[in-house]
């Protein structure tokens, strides 16, 4: 008995979308049908564990193309479907995945949205390439076979049929070629193999092909059939193998082919997790950053597979921004093939995997740092900036995980060191971690503010990247020890007696300090310095904004200025000279003040507000 039924409205809409899908998406139909076949075999295998009558010990999926009929047939020996199941599963959109998909499409308001290509859309995707689809199937739970047939428009029919073995045969009658689309290409042996390789390489059951060709024989009416079946897929992906069974060479060579790199990665991380959440992951740190690492247009992300089926090339939810240089893939059995982009963001399994992936990468980095310093330095030179940004981002949310992975230049050690190493090497009585801004140790060495720090032999971290100081601010302290900029705030480095002397002197020199301040409208205060030994003066910043931050912010078009404090060294002959000059010639003394201030600015790498005035003052002085 043949029954013809109308598809539900929802199904019709989905079908319509499939038929009108853009060209590049069409090829995924094969992936969808193969993964249905694989699921069906999984189910039969599972049932056979408790019912040996329905077991088969030769599970496989066969993909055949017939050039004359213009058909593609996908055959599996899985569970099959009863008539009621055919009706339920193929007659309506029963599953939630397709519904979510439909909603996502409705939101995007375009039938050509990308999600068609990226996510599973199931059985109906057959209509992307087929004008008619027949499903001949026999369920392990029913001895009667049925045939479902639809031309994908409004209706489908179901009738009784005969079939010897359990399982399903899905037959696609390809659409006629159009000017733009050559459906015949799906009959091509190489195309079919390539599609199987691309999307279904790691399906657990052998996927075999047999192509039927006509007309190439002497006897042109005889089909020239490939009798030999060829297994196309590799089945067991390297990441599903047990970690201990995979050699480093295998991982390296997999990485190089998969991610098209010619060098071995710095490190490969292989994760097998089983339990509440089951997944496998392979992660690689490329030896050199990919050329597009910093490009805004490059999407970060790991490849996503579910049960060996390729879903998505760049799943950004799987990796935090600061680890965007990591290449790799995740394969989880706990995700649906129909997962949509919106769902990915909310998916708890994805979130858990991402947290774990991040943790694994960081612990691998800390392992390299411990065991192979040279390798870590090589890594850090290329990717260190990413870690520093990671530490700074979101107000230091990740600082505890990242603080021991950061390296900075050290004034004393002459090489890159960690905060822990700095702490370890602190001198007795040293209370703070000192840092200075400068491209090199030499540049820092010349800063007047270094006088006393050098005298004490305290080490100073040399911050040379723009982000460094921001990172330090977010960190606040390292294991309870505060950070201290050598040119910000009080240094507290001189002994008490000396400090008291300067405090007393402050009263005595009040009018000089006022004179100097009045000559410098851009300076917040003028003080007697407690940090200078050999230099006449220096500039320090008051408050949270340093000169370096001012520079970085300016480059980003923020007009935020550090508060300038001019420090004078009362023990320097220039100080005496300045004081004497104010007593006899205020105008000349103001010029001296300006020259001193500009000199201090220049030492901080800041250009004077009025270079002409500076040049003129200097000339006047030369002529004295």
Q: Which is nearer to ligand ADP, 93 or 238 (CB)?
A: 93
Sheet with strand 563-568: strands edge to edge: 525-528, 563-568, 537-542
* Minimum CB–partner distance for residue 67 and ligand ADP (Å): 24
245 backbone φψ class: left, alpha, beta (φ>0; ψ -120 to 50):
alpha
Does residue 14 touch ligand ADP according to CB under 6 A? no
* Minimum CB–partner distance for residue 154 and ligand ADP (Å): 18
Q: Which of 168, 200, 386, 410 binds ligand ADP (CB under 6 A)?
A: 168
Binding segment (CB under 6 A) for ligand ADP, from list 77-85, 144-152, 252-260, 370-378: 77-85
Q: Which of 63, 105, 187, 337 binds ligand ADP (CB under 6 A)?
A: 337
Tally of CB atoms within 10 A around 216: 10
Q: Which is nearer to ligand ADP, 100 or 469 (CB)?
A: 100
Task: Write b or e for each residue in 298-330: b if 16 or more Cβ atoms lie within 10 A of its Cβ, otherwise e.
Answer: eebbbbbbbbbbbbbeebbbbbbebbbbbbbbb
> Cβ neighbours of residue 594 under 8 Å, at least 6 residues apart?
519, 520, 613, 614, 617
DSSP characters over 114-162: THHHHS--GGGGGGGTEEEEEEEEE-TT-S-EEEEEE-SSSEEEEEEE-
Q: Which of 45, 66, 122, 255 binds ligand ADP (CB under 6 A)?
A: 122
Q: Which is nearer to ligand ADP, 124 or 379 (CB)?
A: 124
Does residue 152 touch ligand ADP according to CB under 6 A? no
* Minimum CB–partner distance for residue 123 and ligand ADP (Å): 4
Q: Which is nearer to ligand ADP, 79 or 318 (CB)?
A: 79
Q: Which of 338, 449, 599, 617 binds ligand ADP (CB under 6 A)?
A: 338
Q: Which is nearer to ligand ADP, 337 or 436 (CB)?
A: 337
Q: Which is nearer to ligand ADP, 36 or 535 (CB)?
A: 36
How many residues make contact with ligand ADP (CB under 6 A)? 19
Rounded CA-CA distance 494/456 in Å is 10
* Minimum CB–partner distance for residue 79 and ligand ADP (Å): 6
Identify the DSSP state of 488. Answer: B
Rounded CA-CA distance 594/537 in Å is 12
What are the Cα distances from residue 589, in Å, to 568, 577, 603, 611, 621? 14, 9, 21, 18, 11
Q: Which is nearer to ligand ADP, 38 or 268 (CB)?
A: 38
Rounded CA-CA distance 373/386 in Å is 18
> Cβ neighbours of residue 349 under 8 Å, at least 6 residues apart?
277, 279, 332, 334, 335
> Cβ neighbours of residue 163 under 8 Å, at least 6 residues apart?
136, 137, 138, 145, 169
Residue number of the CB closest to ligand ADP reads 122
* Minimum CB–partner distance for residue 74 and ligand ADP (Å): 7
The pair of structure tokens assigned to 378 is: 């090589």
> Cβ neighbours of residue 515 under 8 Å, at least 6 residues apart?
582, 586, 589, 590, 593
The pair of structure tokens assigned to 93 is: 């959109």
Q: Which is nearer to ligand ADP, 137 or 540 (CB)?
A: 137
Q: What share of the chain is helix, strand, coil (3-state, %, to 5)?
A: 45, 20, 35
Alpha carbon 438 to its chain centroid, in Å, reads 30
Residues 19-58 that bind ligand ADP (CB under 6 A): 32, 36-37, 40
Q: Which is nearer to ligand ADP, 338 or 535 (CB)?
A: 338
The pair of structure tokens assigned to 394 is: 């979101």
* Minimum CB–partner distance for residue 138 and ligand ADP (Å): 10
Q: Which is nearer to ligand ADP, 32 or 567 (CB)?
A: 32
Query: What is the length of the chain?
Result: 624
Residues 78-117 that bind ligand ADP (CB under 6 A): 78-81, 89-90, 95, 97
DSSP characters over 176-232: PP-SS--GGGGG-HHHHHHHHHHHHTT-SS-EEEEEEE-S-SSSTTS-EE--S-EE-
Residues 373-402 that bind ligand ADP (CB under 6 A): none
Q: Which is nearer to ligand ADP, 76 or 550 (CB)?
A: 76
* Minimum CB–partner distance for residue 76 and ligand ADP (Å): 5
DSSP characters over 267-327: EEEEEEE-SSS-EEEEEEE-SS--TTTT-TTSPP-EEEEETTEEEEEEEGGGS-GGGTT-E
Q: Which is nearer to ligand ADP, 36 or 599 (CB)?
A: 36
Q: Which is nearer to ligand ADP, 172 or 523 (CB)?
A: 172
Q: Which is nearer to ligand ADP, 32 or 468 (CB)?
A: 32
* Minimum CB–partner distance for residue 86 and ligand ADP (Å): 8
**What three-state secondary structure class fits 462?**
strand
* Minimum CB–partner distance for residue 188 and ligand ADP (Å): 23
Residue 522-541 contact track with ligand ADP, rule CB under 6 A, x = bound:
--------------------
* Minimum CB–partner distance for residue 127 and ligand ADP (Å): 11
* Minimum CB–partner distance for residue 210 and ligand ADP (Å): 18
* Minimum CB–partner distance for residue 206 and ligand ADP (Å): 16
* Minimum CB–partner distance for residue 4 and ligand ADP (Å): 20
Q: Which of 29, 34, 63, 76 binds ligand ADP (CB under 6 A)?
A: 76
* Minimum CB–partner distance for residue 99 and ligand ADP (Å): 11
Does residue 123 touch ligand ADP according to CB under 6 A? yes
**Chain contacts with ligand ADP (rule: CB under 6 A):** 32, 36-37, 40, 76, 78-81, 89-90, 95, 97, 120, 122-123, 168, 337-338
């Amino acid at each position: 008995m043949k029954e013809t039924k109308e598809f539900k409205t929802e199904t019709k809409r989905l079908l319509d979308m499939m038929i009108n899908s853009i060209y590049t998406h069409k090829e995924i139909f094969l992936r969808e049908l193969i993964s249905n076949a694989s699921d069906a075999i999984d189910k039969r295998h599972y049932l056979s564990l408790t019912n040996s009558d329905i077991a088969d010990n030769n599970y496989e999926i066969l993909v055949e193309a017939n050039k004359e009929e213009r058909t593609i047939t996908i055959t599996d020996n899985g569970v099959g479907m009863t008539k009621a199941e055919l009706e339920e599963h193929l007659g309506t959109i029963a599953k939630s995945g397709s519904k979510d998909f439909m909603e996502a499409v409705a939101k995007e308001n375009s039938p050509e949205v990308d999600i068609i290509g990226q996510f599973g859309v199931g059985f109906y995707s057959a209509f992307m390439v087929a004008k008619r689809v027949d499903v001949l199937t026999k369920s392990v739970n029913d001895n009667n076979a049925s045939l479902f047939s639809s031309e994908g428009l409004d209706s489908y029919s179901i009738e009784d049929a005969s079939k010897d073995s359990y399982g399903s045969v899905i037959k696609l009658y390809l659409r006629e070629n159009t000017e733009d689309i050559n459906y015949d290409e799906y009959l091509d042996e190489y195309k079919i193999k390539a599609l199987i390789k691309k999307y279904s390489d790691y399906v657990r059951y052998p996927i075999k092909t047999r192509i039927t060709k006509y007309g190439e024989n002497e006897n042109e009416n005889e089909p020239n059939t490939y009798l030999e079946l060829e297994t196309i897929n590799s089945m067991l992906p390297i990441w599903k193998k047990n970690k201990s069974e995979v050699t480093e060479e295998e991982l390296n060579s997999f990485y190089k082919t998969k991610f098209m790199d010619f060098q071995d990665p710095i490190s490969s991380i292989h994760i097998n997790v089983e339990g509440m959440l089951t997944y496998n992951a392979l992660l690689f740190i490329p030896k050199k950053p990919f050329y597009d690492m910093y490009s805004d247009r490059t999407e970060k992300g790991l490849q996503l597979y579910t049960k060996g089926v390729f879903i998505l090339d760049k799943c950004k939810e799987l990796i935090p921004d600061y680890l965007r240089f990591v290449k790799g893939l995740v394969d989880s059995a706990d995700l649906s093939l129909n997962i949509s982009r919106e769902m990915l963001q909310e998916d708890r399994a994805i979130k858990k995997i991402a947290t774990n992936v991040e943790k694994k990468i960081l612990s691998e980095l800390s392992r390299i740092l411990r065991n192979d310093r040279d390798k870590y330095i090589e890594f850090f030179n290329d990717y260190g900036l990413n870690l520093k940004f990671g530490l700074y981002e979101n107000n230091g949310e990740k600082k505890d995980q990242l603080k021991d992975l950061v390296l900075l230049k050290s004034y004393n050690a002459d090489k890159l060191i960690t905060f822990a190493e700095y702490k370890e090497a602190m001198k007795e009585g040293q209370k703070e971690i000192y840092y200075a801004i400068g491209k090199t140790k030499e540049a820092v060495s010349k800063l007047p503010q270094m006088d006393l720090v050098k005298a004490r032999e305290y080490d100073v971290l040399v911050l040379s990247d723009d982000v460094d100081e921001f990172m330090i601010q977010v960190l606040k302290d390292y294991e309870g020890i505060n950070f201290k900029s050598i040119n910000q705030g009080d240094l507290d480095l001189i002994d008490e007696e000396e400090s008291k002397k300067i405090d007393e002197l402050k009263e005595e020199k009040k009018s000089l300090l006022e004179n100097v301040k009045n000559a410098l409208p851009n300076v917040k205060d003028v003080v007697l310095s407690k940090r200078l030994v050999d230099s006449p003066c220096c500039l320090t910043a008051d408050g949270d904004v340093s000169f370096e931050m001012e520079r970085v912010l300016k480059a980003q078009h923020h007009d935020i200025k550090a508060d300038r404090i001019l420090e004078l060294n009362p023990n320097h002959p220039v100080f005496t000279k300045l004081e004497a000059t104010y007593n006899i010639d205020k105008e000349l003394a103001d010029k001296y003040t300006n020259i001193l201030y500009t000199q201090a600015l220049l030492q901080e790498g800041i250009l004077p507000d009025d270079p002409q005035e500076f040049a003129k003052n200097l000339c006047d002085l030369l002529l004295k």
